[in-house]
Structure 1
Amino acid sequence: MLFAGPKAAFAHAELERTVPEPNTKYEQSPKEIELAFNEAIEAKVGSLEVLDDKSRRVTDADPKTSADHKSLTLALPKLGEGVYTVSYAIVSADGHPISGSYVFVVGNPPQGVDAAAFDPHKELGHEGHGVSTQLTTNEFIIYAVRALYYAALLWTAGLMIWPLLARKRGAVLPGIQKKWERIALQTLLVAVLLYVFVHAREILKGYPTSDYGKLFLETAIGKEWIALIALSLAGFALVRLHPVARTLWAAAILAVEAWSGHAAVFSPKSASVLFDFVHLASAAVWVGGLTLLFLLWRQDRKEAGRFAVLFSRAALLSLMLLVLSGVGLTLLFLPKLSYLFYTSWGTLLLIKTGLVVLVLGVGGTLHMRIRRGDLPTAPLLRADAALMALIIVVAALFTYVSPLPANEPVTYHQMGDKMHLSFRVTPNKAGVNELTVKVWLPDAVGAAKSAELRLFSLDRKELGPIDVPLKTFEDTELTDFEGFVKTAYHAEGPYIPFAGRWQAEIRVRDKDDNESVQTVEFRNY
């Protein structure tokens, strides 16, 4: 009776159809996920979820089972462009667990951002240049020039803003402003020219001088440099105009700086550029106001005391905006706060944060003295100025360093008596990648019969594996080993849907169906 029973009694439910289909690109967001099985599944056991490219669930809705219990559906909200992962874990009616994951794409999602996004050589078609993710001593000149540039930019913009903020605030202040605005503009022009010269020379190191025209006229960074030089020269004509005109000039030159660098790379671009502009403008108000307070304190203590009331309020507001915009930029730049510990950018940001905390302490003490009617003291002003200088230096350093680690291609190779195995992932980032598996088996065994590749998320271990459909191809690389026969497999597609730690499981079968299993762990950011 046991052997005469129906064969289906020994079978398990298998996934027969999926909507959307695995590894498929859709122009519009699908309305639902549907998984159809060949047998009934338990209605109240298991899970079905969809994750975005940050491994976040796109909906908290519960899946529904069909009347015959053979399909599972999950209603979806309207999905934006991106790479999505469908993960399921169900139990068939006979009690057998089934799990898996697959990927589909909606629209044309932007490429994942990593350290490579901060390489201006790409716009020029240059290859072979690394991206600065760690600090090195031989970059001292670049950092010194950047510190000078940022100091001059914030100082000049702040001095041009304060005439509007401090109108009719004494007889001594206008004379100080008139004298130091021109000095600041001269300093800014020199700093901008040095800044452009040093960075252009660094970018075109080893390339012909004819590429300078291409750099300045055909790249985003070159056009921004031209705008900086033009605005620096225009400042000399505007310095005599109404304070509103000077403030608009300061806003324009800060906007040019906000539009370049890291803020221009991350999405949403409007939010990152806005945060960067608020950050720079707040710093400029603080730097310019502190400069005027220090100059007034040396020339007229009473007028310095009156100006200090206005400055202390503006400085505290500026510092609060600095903190809020800095937090906003950090959250936009980094997928997780743990990334602060992966690069020098994070280390420098932590140092800058500590300095800002000290500035808040000094500024709070200064504000309390002024509220009591006391004059600012020299030690407090010097401490504030020293912390300001340190923050500018740190900002000059970490705006040159990539916020994100560099994603290195996966290049794994293992030699063995029974099998050599090579596994490669390029460019190794969330989204579309090329995955290559090469297998060498002894001549006596013969060529591999098949190879299977499955990817497991080590950060989300509850997710099922992602099956990568490998296809054989003719490999032209000179990677033959005497006494072994090679078989090469290849796949290209969005099989790595989100950044994190991954494990590749490679199963190789020979012509006699003997199986060898190799696992490779890798990560991307």
Structure 2
Amino acid sequence: MSRKSNKYLSLIQAAAISIWMCLMLLSMPGAAAAHAELERTVPEPNAKYEQSPAAVELSFNESIEPEVGAIKVLDSKSRPVTDKAPTASKDGQSLTLPLPKLTEGVYTVSYAVISEDGHPISGSYVFVIGNVTEGVDAATFDPHKELGHEGHSVSTQLTINQFIIYAVRAVYYASLLLAAGLMLWPLLTRGRSEKLQLLQKKWEMIALQTLLVASLLYIFVHAREILTGYPSSEYSKLFLRTTIGREWVALLVLALIGFIIVRFGPIMKALWAAGILVLESFSGHAVVFKPKVSSLLFDFVHLAAASVWVGGLLLLLVLWIADRKEAGRFAVVFSRAALLSITLLVLTGIGLTLLFLPSLHYLFYTAWGTILLVKTGLVVLVLVVGGLLHLRVRRGDLPTTVLLRVDAALMALIIVCAALFTYISPLPANNPVLYHKMGDKMHLSLRVTPNKPGDNTFIVKVWLPDAVGAPKSVKLRLFSLDRKDLGPIDVPIKAFEDPEITTFDGFVKAAFTTEGPFVPFAGRWEAEVRVMDKDDNETVEKTEFRNY
């Protein structure tokens, strides 16, 4: 096998190993793969109500696309109870579906929507109205069975579909950086040799062709994932009436315009590269986090620096094969640009991480953070290799084949890691607090929804024996387990008429609730419920929870 073949085989093997390691990491339990999350539901999952709720309301932590998707409420025969369409709130974070008056029975709520950044959010749950004649508890119902999808279960294994999605993202991201980088380099190499200019033009066209094919594949795979189970009529809404759909159309338009721009001079090419990188910045995490201007600016500079490095390294590799002397001359320019690019990558990467994460501890909570740590290690190696290349060039020596291979392999690994960042969430998902304890002297239930820093709904339910009667008082306190110096936060719960049918023979129930910002910051918390009966006997129950 030739040295050239060995080189490409090594690059392919390195990229394949990187893809596999990253995908295995993403498939592990606890890996955060979603962006928008369902925070609050009305009616609540697995709840029993005496009367029909007026509407189904779903609230998310981010804005969603109201034009695509649906909420369905099915009866026990899997028949829709209404054909009305849900309406969105002004902030775009809630959907409300009015309901007709429902009779006794078990009902399934099924939702499938997409967030503004194009990620699908779907799920289903059940609630019960009245005393169902079959006597089935809502908590024992399987929503998948109600929808006719028996046998569904959560898998921690990497599926073929997931592998295809991640692999396509990696190919798309690499082609984007390569095309943008090659269109930026003519501005950095003006007045250079004719041979370099010919190679640039040749590879610019190849990169644009690759970008167009990769973009079509990327859009097809993601649109298919988002609209799985939807009628074909939804595709027009996706592409014309949603943010992510319009961004995809703009991507294809820019990719096609690139074939015209490639005939123009360096400035027009650089403007095209800037345009497509700006579009990519608006398609990722940067558009969600605040301050948005800083986030988008960091992301754009990050992408531009990566593009210069990727495009320049490819040019150096093809020149190395075609003409070693010309490669040596180009290496002088590339080594300087590469070191500047890697420096900007590090600085903007740190800036984005600080914007995305409340603290650096969050690097250890999700797959996003773990991949970022892996990428950081790879960037450190790139700095070492780049420094060695720069020293050789300054001495007037040619870059060695080994250093070029290592730099190219590291580039492939970093691109794979970076491609996955925009598909997984940097923040772990918060889960509602659902605590319930049974006892001879007292039953206790505590709910905190959606369990996030800021406003939450608190519900405390207490069941005392009939002989004891209703509680004299019930108090709820929160203690920060991360800030032991802080005193307890008293949550002002008040009695309310609970619509849920949750009774126990021989016990009397009392329910209390409130809403407010009583969880002021993220972290580990302890909830303390103090129940005083009419004889001034106090029972204290504690439970720990956390949020991000």
TM-score (norm 1): 0.75
Partner of 1:321: 344
Q: State the match for 1:372 in structure 2.
A: 395
Please list the CA deviations of residues 92-113 of structure 1 after superposition, one character each: whole Å capped at 9, or x if unmatched. Answer: xxxxxxxxxxxxxxxxx999xx
Match of residue 467, structure 2, among 440, 444, 466: 444
Query: Match for residue 38 of structure 1?
Result: none
Q: In the alignment, which of 395, 398, 418 is matched to residue 421 of structure 2?
A: 398
Unaligned runs of 5+ in 1: 1-108, 112-118
Task: State how far apart, in whole Å, the 1-side matches of 2:500 and 2:224 are.
Answer: 37
1:220 aligns with 2:251: no
1:414-445 deviation line (CA, Å, top 9, x unaligned): 11110010101111101111011011111111
Give the aligned partner of residue 180 of structure 1. Answer: 203
- What CA distance in whole angstroms lies between the structure 2 residues aligned with 1:154 and 1:508? 61
CA distance in 1, matches of 2:263, 2:237: 36
Residue of structure 2 aligned with 1:128, choices 111, 123, 126: 123
Cα distance per residue 1:444-478 (max 9 Å; x no partner): 11122221111111111211221111111122223
1:182-213 deviation per Cα after TM superposition (whole angstroms, max 9, x unaligned): 11101001111111111111112223333222
Range with bigger deviation, 216-225 or 369-378: 216-225
Tell me the CA shift for residue 136 of structure 1.
5.2
Q: CA deviation at 1:275?
A: 0.7
Partner of 2:385: 362
Question: 2:158 is matched with which residue?
Answer: 137
Letter of the 2:432 partner, please give it.
Answer: P
Q: Which of these residues, 485, 497, 521, is aligned with residue 462 of structure 1?
A: 485
- Identity among equivalent pairs (%): 70
Kept in 2: contact 1:157–1:250 (CA 8 A): yes
State the AA in 2 paired with 1:227.
Answer: A
Answering whether residue 373 of structure 2 is matched by residue 350 of structure 1, we say: yes
1:83-94 matches, within 5 Å, as none
Aligned counterparts of 1:312 and 1:333: Cα–Cα separation in 2 = 31
Code of the residue aligned with 2:374 in structure 1: it is I
Please say if residues 120 and 221 of structure 1, whose CA atoms lie closer than 8 Å, have aligned partners that are also in contact: no
* Counterpart-to-counterpart distance in 2, 1:209 and 1:514: 64
Deviations 1:18-64 (A, max 9, x none): xxxxxxxxxxxxxxxxxxxxxxxxxxxxxxxxxxxxxxxxxxxxxxx
Tell me what 1:5 maps to: none
Please give the alpha-carbon distance, in whole angstroms, between the structure 2 residues aligned to 1:444 and 1:354: 66
Measured in 2, the distance between the counterparts of 1:320 and 1:129 equals 47
Q: TM-score, normalized by length of structure 2?
A: 0.72
State the Cα RMSD in Å.
2.2
Change in Cα spacing, 1:405 to 1:296, as seen in structure 2 (3 Å) is same
Tell me the secondary structure at the aligned position of residue 501 of structure 1. Answer: strand
Counterpart of 2:216 in structure 1 is 193
What CA distance in whole angstroms lies between the structure 1 residues aligned with 2:156 and 2:395?
45
Matches of 2:189 and 2:490 in 1, distance apart? Answer: 66
Listed as ranges, the matches of 1:8-407 within 5 Å are 121-122=114-115, 127-128=122-123, 137-138=158-159, 139-407=162-430
Amino acid at match of 1:311: F
User: Which protein has the larger Cα radius of gyration, Structure 1 or Structure 2?
Assistant: 1
Name the CA distance, whole Å, in 2 between partners of 1:110 and 1:210.
23
Tell me the distance in 2 between the aligned counterparts of 1:197 and 1:508: 57
Q: Structure 1 stretch 395-404 or stretch 362-371: which is displaced more?
A: 395-404
Q: Distance in 1 between matches of 2:124 and 2:368?
A: 19
AA in 2 matched with 1:410: V
Preserved CA contact (<8 Å) 1:433 1:494: yes
Change (3 A) 1:253 1:305: same
Residue 438 of structure 2 aligns with which residue? Answer: 415
Does the CA contact (< 8 Å) of 1:279 and 1:322 recur in 2? yes
1:121 partner SS: strand
For residue 424 of structure 1, the aligned residue among 447, 455, 464 is 447
The residue type equivalent to 2:366 in the other structure is T
Greater displacement, 168-177 / 149-158: 168-177
